[in-house]
Structure 1
Amino acid sequence: MILYTMMPHEQVFPYTEEAASNQVMISYNGIPLMAEWTENQEYRVVRVMSTDPNHYMDPICRPGATLSLT
């Protein structure tokens, strides 16, 4: 079986259930992001899920950046 997906291997086949359960899809200024909740009550961007190339150029949404949705 061949799985054609844009998702990374770690997302499709997570190492642990805990790592996968921390990740959620959020929308920040209309940009779909895969993020994880941190202990500091913020989201850390894991991956940009958009198909728009301009969203990848936005420095606010780069992987590793922290976002506060309050």
Structure 2
Amino acid sequence: MILYTTVPQDLIFPTEQSEFDNQKVVDWQGIPLLVQQVEKGYKVVRIMSCDPNHFLDDTISPGQFLN
């Protein structure tokens, strides 16, 4: 079976379910983001948009925190 997708292999075939329990897709100002809930709020894990301009925005780059 061949999967042509941009989704990481770890999300399709998870090894440990508890690793991804605190991640969810949110719509932040019209941009879909995969975020992880942390004590400060949300940490951006991945930009799920296909618009190239969203990847140039430093405020939502992976590793940044959202309120």
TM-score (norm 2): 0.91
Summarize deviations over 1:13-49 as a string: whole Å, max 9, x none.
2232111111100011111000010023x00000000
Q: Paired residue for 1:4?
A: 4
- Structure 2, unmatched stretches of 5+, are none
Amino acid across the alignment from 1:60:
T
RMSD: 1.0
Q: Paired residue for 2:52?
A: 53
Aligned residues: 67
Of Structure 1 and Structure 2, which has the larger fraction of its residues in strand? 2
Q: Paired residue for 2:35?
A: 35
Identity %: 43
Amino acid across the alignment from 1:39:
E
- Structure 1, unmatched stretches of 5+, are none
Moved more, 30-39 or 13-22: 13-22
Q: What stretches of structure 1 move > 3 A for 4+ residues in a row?
A: none
TM-score (norm 1): 0.87
